[in-house]
Copies of this chain bind each other. A is one copy, B any other.
Amino acid sequence: MTAATRPIRLLRVDLARRSWTVEDLPDDLVRAFVGGRGLGAALLRREGRHRLGPADPGAPVVVCTGPLTGTRAPTASRTSLTGLSPLTNTVFDANSGGFFGIRLRRAGFDALWLEGVSDAPVTVSVTPRGVSFEDAAPLWGRGNREAQSALAGGSNRSWAALTIGPAGENGAKLANIAHGDRFFGRGGLGAWMGARRLKAVRVRGDGPVPVADPEGLAFVAGECRKQLGAHPVTSRGLPAFGTAVLMNVINAVGALPARNFRDSGCERADRLSGEALRDRLTVGRKACPGCPIACGRKIALDGRTGPGPEFETLWALGANLGLDDLEAVARLNRVAADLGLDTVSAGATIAAARELFETGDLGWDPLERGAEGVADLLAEMAEVRGRGALLAHGSRRLAEAAGRPDAAMVSKGLELPAYDPRGCQGQGLAYATSNRGGCHLRAYLVAPEILATPKRVDRFAWSGKAGLTIVAQNLNAAVDSLVLCRFTGFALGDGHYARLLKAVTGWDVDGQELMTAGERIYTLERLVNLERGFGRGDDRLPRRLTHEPVARGPSAGHTVHLDEMLDEYYRFRGWDLRGVPTARKLEQLGLGPSPF
């Protein structure tokens, strides 16, 4: 078998036994679930591991590349990671750009399964010759910056590493996983690593990545790059301002949450905008490998250059907390990155604590000492110590402990990001039906509702949003499985993606098959959550968003009409009114007999 068509290889590592094996995955499994996110969920469910608790030693994390990873397809440097979330208890995947997935494939492996609990801090090192286990005690307690530098910097530059900071080590359910200087941000999978005493996984490899039709790929990839170079978001907005380009846009329409979603709009958001970031801190752009967009910012601050804050961070640790000092928020971003805390959930949890203080449900003010106090609080959260212990596991647990569960701005326990759905109804449905909890990355209805791309739809209407949400969820599931960057979706459609996939795999695949794969993946994830005990009652938004109209600004008077959209959503999905896929739908997608 040539490199062009070799089977997809799963490397399985047992951290308890310090052993490893290699498995060639069946072709039909790979074709049905593509790779990345789809393959991760399928592998999890194939062995029934999806029924375990996140803390169970048998509950794995699977790092999956996709068929495009490491090829010349644009943005094909993303790695996907799937597990059971300590924060939400749902199935949870996250993906991130960097060298890990590329090097994993170049080492001859396409996916990496990690399970078991190591009895001492350990670094797992993968090379083409297999796996070795190294003592990570000297790195334990160190921040991501030092860990990345020790494992994948200097003379170790041929390595790519995933690491956790103190937050993950100490089991904070808001802990993320660092991948170079980017992150698998949400869902607390850093706590999964910490509980296994897995400080880091790194990989080195320089073999070929299989491509069936290199010339065809070069042609399609070129076409895709042209499209990315033509769309205003990917050719101008993101390159010029980074993701912070959204700050002023979202705020202008009254969809930027403030004060823990008690307001929808923020007077001084412009101080945290992409424009301000460009004018005051940015010294360059940073692209993930193989990406022509380069949305990453390089900033100079306090005599050091490094990654700048993303939009979500500027919101969560800035606008939503009423902090508007750009430099201070950029510093908090550095602090959180080094500690290994998800900035969105950490900021949202602090905002909830501030509300609880204002309403007399908490005896101390998390914002008493402004940004400096927030920095100290983040450190305590990462150490799960003192006041920080109350916030380290997220808004839901904080609000429940304070006796005010309504103060948690979450869906399925995941903190909502920087878009108030009362100003974009479809995004509300997308939050509520997201199978990893309240996030904007399952379906970004903000694009049609606010950014008018691919075309404008009425952001306050709820009729018809179910269909748009489902199409976006399915397409994104497919793109997350290839794995490509979400931002390509501004410029590319299912036809482009299918042609890339065809060139790389040799499969006779078209846009329709890819969309069906996306639906299969989304439905599989739904099955996993149903089997974990989730149901219609969990497809919810905080009561504040469905019952309390926005008080001021361009979205004033609106709430989210979730129930109206939800019935339609289930029907369009081919699910019954409990939110359970019908036997017919499962059969149609090749997902076997219904477990319900």
**Chain A interfacial positions (CB closer than 8 Å to B):** 16, 56-58, 116-120, 197, 356, 359-364, 385-387, 389-390, 393, 397, 400-405
Contact = CB atoms under 8 A, between A and B. Distances in A.
A510 to B, nearest CB: 44
Given A360-B363, A401-B390, A404-B363, A119 B120 contact: no
Given A57-B120, A58-B120, A117-B117, A364 B16 contact: no
Counting chain B CB atoms within 10 Å of each CB, the highest count among A363, A389, A402 belongs to A363
Nearest to A407: B363
Interface hub of A117, A197, A360 (most chain B Cβ within 10 A): A117
Given A389-B397, A401-B401, 16 more contacts: A16-B117, A16-B119, A57-B118, A57-B197, A58-B119, A58-B120, A360-B363, A362-B403, A364-B402, A364-B403, A385-B400, A386-B401, A386-B405, A387-B400, A389-B400, A389-B401
Contacts of A363: 356, 359-362, 402-404
A58 B137 CA distance: 13
Contacts of A405: 386
Nearest to A403: B364
A363 B56 CA distance: 33
A265 B361 CA distance: 30
Contacts of A401: 386-387, 389-390, 401
Nearest to A16: B119
A23 B58 CA distance: 32
A197 B16 CA distance: 14
Nearest to A362: B363
Contact of A362 (B58, B362, B385, B393): B362
A119 B118 CA distance: 9
Contacts of A390: 390, 401-402
A405 B119 CA distance: 34
Contacts of A397: 389
A266 B510 CA distance: 79
A210 to B, nearest CB: 35
26 contacts: A56-B120, A57-B117, A57-B118, A57-B120, A57-B197, A58-B119, A58-B120, A116-B119, A356-B363, A359-B363, A360-B360, A360-B363, A361-B363, A362-B362, A362-B402, A363-B402, A364-B402, A364-B403, A364-B404, A385-B400, A386-B400, A386-B401, A386-B405, A389-B393, A390-B401, A401-B401
Contacts of A58: 119-120
A16 B402 CA distance: 38
A364 to B, nearest CB: 3
Of all A-B residue pairs in the complex, the 4 with the closest CB atoms, nearest first, are A361-B363, A364-B403, A390-B401, A57-B119
A390 B390 CA distance: 7
A120 to B, nearest CB: 7
A134 to B, nearest CB: 17
Nearest to A393: B389
A57 B122 CA distance: 13
A56 B564 CA distance: 51
A362 B197 CA distance: 34
A568 to B, nearest CB: 33
Contacts of A119: 16, 57-58, 116-117
A116 B119 CA distance: 6
Contact of A16 (B16, B56, B386, B389): B16
A98 to B, nearest CB: 30
Nearest to A15: B119
A308 to B, nearest CB: 32
Nearest to A404: B363
Contacts of A116: 119
A356 B404 CA distance: 15
A403 to B, nearest CB: 3
A119 B195 CA distance: 12
A139 to B, nearest CB: 15
Contacts of A197: 57
Contacts of A402: 362-364, 387, 390
